[in-house]
């Protein structure tokens, strides 16, 4: 009997020993997988931000090199008048493009014009013939280089382009792009992000104390190559105290930062075009703690299981010795049934609590969605506020003029003309009240259920709101609604918000183009109504089309949109039981298609 009790305990002890020896690595690998996925996401975001920021300026040097001012100056670099005009032109372009510096050099490397000509650190007169970006461009190639400016002592990424006229290279134009804004976004996070050059020197980092430190040994060859291009000017280079190793089959890096050694999971991605390697370091201390906690918890469970087994076997021995006492056996059985019933009652109670929590979470989610829709509407109204203010100021100014002339006409006894002025003032007031009413209804939080909605009425209210934006963009709105379209299953205010968002985006797309027509059409297809909004703009690229309905995704500049309009519109139409999609029109421009259900007869009768 004793051996029967000891055998399970020995087995549990063996399992515990194996867990201590090998289980830690297995558990750590699981947590390291999660950490690696999280670090990989951070890395992709950082690489995308850097790549997008640089590509904005990649083609600009070649475009600016073809300007008449640049070509004239490169032929006559001593002409002070040409220098002054070119300096002013480069300064204006630099301010418009928000780049760091733009400058023009002769084939001898001398800078003859620069956007910072009037600053204390002007490049004019400086010679940068030793820079790789100049040497590459002088050979007729588009060049790229990143470095610390020897004159401005400011880091930047350089794009160089040859100034080529009739097949002959006469000079080089260079764009310097500031990267401080992207670097600033890396500060304060849990992960450490830095960019290193081929020599292992850290050029960008969210940790300023690591700047110009090297994660590789600073051998004489590496120092010589760095100093030959004067990439980091007079900056003091140093080696970062790094020790490489592995943990849970992953490459890790231990850095003695401030006298305290920390271990990091390393995830890297090269950017060949830029000549960089982007690295994300994730602190592994949490992984160690989680793995240790898990092992301790499992060991504790094994101990409890061993204790339970020992107790069970001991009770079994006692039961075997007291088989004749049937009454005690029945009492023991009833006790166990009671315990199991209590356990089931506790489980049921927990299930009821979870159901209540999930219902509460669903209510909060719906409220959050409603608040997000309202925020999108108010953001759209904010973007149209200037045009709407102009739309209201015009009738106010006209009403003031009519009121002043009415008093003069009454004094002159010309009552008929004064009465006509009063009627015009009344008409202007009605117009302003109509605009105000539609804006107030649009801005109000909807609390409506789905029902039959007349598309003509929604379109008429939508026109009241977007009229000012269309007028500001000088856009022409064409409406083609099939008379067979009677009513759709939707909410009037929310459907109005969808149309306002899409038509406003169409006005943004055609503004400044030759063809500024926007066509809104609706037709019945079986039991569906297809509403399409087509513009004559540049259309939607395939890469953008896949993400256009994602929250906070926008192609507009900073301050011109939150990236919520189309995401909110997509979810509104989905709540209606319909769908919202986008495609390019064969004749040019983008087409947004809204598919809605036709309101059935029961809904129409109830509405009537």
To 10 degrees, what angle do helices 492-510 and 565-575 make? 140
pLDDT for the residue numbered 24: 60
Q: What CA–CA distance (Å, rounded) separates 11 from 506? A: 72
Separation between Cα atoms, residue 357 and residue 372, nearest integer Å = 22
Residue 387, token pair as written in the block = 């045009």
Among candidate residues 300, 288, 290, 297, the one with its CA nearest the CA of residue 254: 288
pLDDT digits (tens, 9 = 90+) for 61-97: 888 888 888 888 888 888 888 888 999 998 888 888 8
The pLDDT > 90 percentage for the chain reads 11
Question: CA–CA distance from 269 to each of 43, 54, 144, 254 (Å)?
Answer: 8, 16, 19, 19
Please tell me which of 139-143, 462-466, 547-551 the model is most confident about, judged by mean pLDDT.
Answer: 139-143
pLDDT digits (tens, 9 = 90+) for 466-476: 887 888 889 99
- Is there a contact between 166 and 153 (Cβ–Cβ < 8 Å)? no
Q: How many CA atoms lie within 13 A of 478 on its CB side?
A: 11
Instruction: Tell whether the model's pLDDT for residue 189 goes beyond 80.
Output: no
Say whether pLDDT at 603 is over 70: no
The pLDDT value recorded for residue 596 is: 94
pLDDT-derived band of residue 532, with 50, 70 and 90 as boundaries? very high
Token output for 450: 């789905």
Q: 511: helix, coil or strand? A: coil
- How many Å apart are CA 554 and CA 376, to the nearest integer? 13
Does residue 437 surpass a pLDDT of 60?
no
**Range with the lowest mean pLDDT among 169-173, 307-311, 340-344, 415-419?**
307-311
Distance CA 105, CA 163 (A): 9
pLDDT attached to residue 9: 62
For the CA atoms of the chain, what is the radius of gyration? Answer: 36
* Secondary structure in 3-state letters for 126-171: CECCCCHHHHHHHCCCCEEEEEECCCCCCEEEEEEEEEEECCEEEE
Cα–chain center distance at 410: 63
Task: For CA atoms 121, 122, 126, 131, give the dihedral sign.
Answer: positive
| pLDDT tens digits along 534-576 | 999 888 888 888 888 887 667 765 455 556 778 888 888 998 8
Interatomic CA distance for residues 337 and 343, integer angstroms: 10
The whole-angstrom separation of Cα 549 and Cα 390 is 31
Closest CA to 73 of 96, 103, 48: 103
Any idea which residue has 């008093």 for tokens?
407
pLDDT of 376 above 60: no
pLDDT band at 523 (very low <50, low <70, confident <90, very high): very high
User: What residues contact residue 549 under an 8 Å CB cut-off, 6+ apart?
Assistant: 566, 567, 570, 580
The closest of 494, 501, 491 to 465, measured between CA atoms, is 501
Query: How far is 443 from 379, CA to CA, in rounded Å?
Result: 10
Of residues 373 and 276, more confidence is placed in 276
Residue 526: count of CB within 10 angstroms of its CB: 7
Q: What is the pTM of this model?
A: 0.41
DSSP secondary structure letters along 303-359 = HHHHHHHHHHHHHHHHHHHTTT-HHHHHHHHHHHHHHHHHHHHHHHHHHHHHHHHHH
Spatial distance between the Cα atoms of 201 and 211, rounded to a whole number of angstroms: 8
Nearest-5° angle of CA 381, CA 382, CA 385?
Answer: 85
- Using DSSP's 3-state secondary structure scheme, residue 369 falls into helix
Q: Residue 530 and residue 552: Cα distance in Å, rounded?
A: 27
pLDDT of residue 533: 94
List for the chain the helix, strand, coil content (%; round to 5): 55, 20, 25
**pLDDT for residue 369:** 63
The alpha carbon torsion through 76, 82, 87, 88 (nearest 10 deg) reads -160
Percent of the chain whose pLDDT exceeds 70: 81
The CA distance from 494 to 446, in Å, is 7
More confident residue, 389 or 154: 154
What single DSSP character describes residue 514?
S
Residue 608's pLDDT band, with cuts at 50, 70 and 90, is very low
Quote the pLDDT of residue 583. 92
Q: Three-class SS of residue 595?
A: strand
Instruction: Give residue for tokens 């399409």.
Output: 532
Reply yes or no on whether the pLDDT at 519 is more than 90.
yes
Q: What is the mean pLDDT of the chain?
A: 79
Higher pLDDT, 177 or 239: 177
DSSP 584: E
* C-alpha–C-alpha distance, residues 89 and 115, integer Å: 8
Residues in a beta bridge with 288: none
Task: Measure the CA dihedral 137/139/142/146, to 10°.
Answer: -50
Half-sphere exposure of residue 8, counting CA atoms within 13 Å on the CB side?
17
The angle at the Cα of 458, spanning 456 to 463, to the nearest 5 degrees, equals 95
At residue 190, the pLDDT reads 65
Question: Which residues is 14 bridged to in the sheet?
Answer: none
Lowest mean pLDDT among 107-116, 352-361, 381-390, 537-546: 381-390
pLDDT in tens, 31-56: 777 877 877 788 788 778 777 777 77
pLDDT reported for residue 23: 57
Assess whether pLDDT exceeds 50 at residue 604: no
- Strands of 178-215, DSSP E: 192-196, 202-205, 213-214
3 state DSSP class of 508: helix
Nearest to 510 by CA among 485, 462, 473, 553: 473
Q: Which domains does the chain have, with CATH numbers?
A: 60-178 (3.30.450.20), 183-220+230-287 (3.30.450.20), 445-607 (3.30.565.10)
């Amino acid at each position: 009997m004793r051996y029967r009790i000891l055998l399970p305990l020995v087995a549990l002890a063996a399992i515990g020993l194996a867990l201590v020896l090998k289980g830690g690595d297995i558990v750590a690998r699981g947590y390291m997988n999660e950490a690696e996925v999280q670090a990989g996401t951070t890395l992709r975001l950082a690489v995308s931000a850097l790549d997008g920021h640089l590509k904005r300026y990649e083609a600009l040097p070649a475009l600016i090199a073809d300007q008449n001012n640049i070509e004239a100056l490169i032929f006559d670099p001593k002409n002070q008048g040409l220098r002054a005009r070119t300096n002013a032109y480069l300064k204006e372009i630099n301010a418009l493009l928000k780049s760091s510096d733009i400058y023009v050099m002769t084939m001898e490397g001398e800078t003859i014009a620069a956007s910072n000509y009037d600053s204390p650190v002007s490049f004019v007169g400086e010679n940068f013939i030793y820079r790789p970006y100049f040497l590459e461009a002088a050979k007729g190639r588009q060049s790229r280089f990143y470095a610390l400016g020897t004159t401005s002592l400011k880091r930047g990424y350089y794009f160089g382009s040859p100034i080529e006229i009739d097949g002959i290279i006469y000079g080089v134009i260079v764009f310097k792009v500031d990267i401080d804004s992207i670097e600033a976004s890396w500060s304060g996070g849990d992960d450490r992000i830095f960019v290193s050059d081929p020599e292992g020197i850290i050029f960008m980092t969210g940790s300023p104390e690591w700047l110009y430190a090297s994660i590789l040994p600073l051998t004489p060859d590496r120092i010589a190559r760095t100093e030959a291009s004067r990439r980091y000017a007079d900056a003091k280079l140093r080696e970062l105290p790094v020790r490489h190793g592995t943990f849970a089959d992953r490459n890790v890096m231990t850095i003695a930062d401030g006298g305290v050694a920390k271990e990091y999971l390393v995830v890297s991605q090269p950017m060949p075009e830029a000549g960089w390697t982007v690295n994300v370091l994730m602190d592994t201390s949490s992984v160690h703690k989680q793995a240790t906690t898990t092992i301790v918890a499992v060991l504790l469970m094994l101990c409890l299981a061993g204790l339970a087994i020992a107790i069970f076997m001991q009770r079994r021995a006692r039961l075997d010795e007291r088989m004749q006492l049937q009454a005690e056996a029945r009492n023991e059985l009833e006790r166990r049934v009671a315990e199991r019933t209590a356990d089931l009652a506790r489980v049921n109670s927990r299930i009821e609590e979870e159901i209540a929590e999930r219902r509460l979470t669903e209510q909060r989610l719906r409220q959050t969605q409603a608040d997000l829709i309202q925020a999108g509407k108010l953001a759209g109204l904010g973007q149209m506020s200037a045009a709407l203010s102009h739309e209201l100021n015009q009738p106010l100014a006209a009403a003031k003029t009519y009121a002043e002339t009415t008093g003069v006409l009454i004094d002159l006894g010309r009552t008929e003309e004064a009465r006509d002025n009063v009627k015009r003032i009344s008409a202007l007031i009605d117009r302003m009240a109509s605009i105000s009413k539609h804006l107030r209804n649009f801005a109000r939080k909807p609390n409506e259920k789905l029902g039959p909605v007349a598309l003509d009425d929604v379109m008429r209210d939508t026109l009241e709101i977007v009229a000012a934006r269309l007028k500001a963009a000088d856009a022409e709105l064409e409406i083609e609604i099939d008379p067979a379209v009677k009513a759709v299953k939707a909410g009037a205010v929310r459907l109005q918000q969808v149309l306002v968002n899409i038509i406003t985006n169409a006005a943004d797309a055609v503004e400044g183009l030759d063809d500024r027509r926007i066509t809104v059409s609706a037709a019945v297809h079986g039991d569906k109504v297809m509403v399409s909004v087509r513009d004559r703009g540049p259309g939607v690229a395939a890469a953008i089309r896949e993400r256009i309905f994602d929250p906070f995704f926008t192609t507009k500049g900073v301050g011109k949109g939150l990236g919520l309009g189309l995401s909110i519109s997509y979810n509104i139409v989905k709540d209606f039981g319909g769908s919202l999609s986008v495609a390019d029109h064969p004749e040019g421009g983008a087409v947004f298609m809204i598919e809605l259900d036709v309101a059935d007869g029961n809904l129409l009768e109830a509405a009537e």
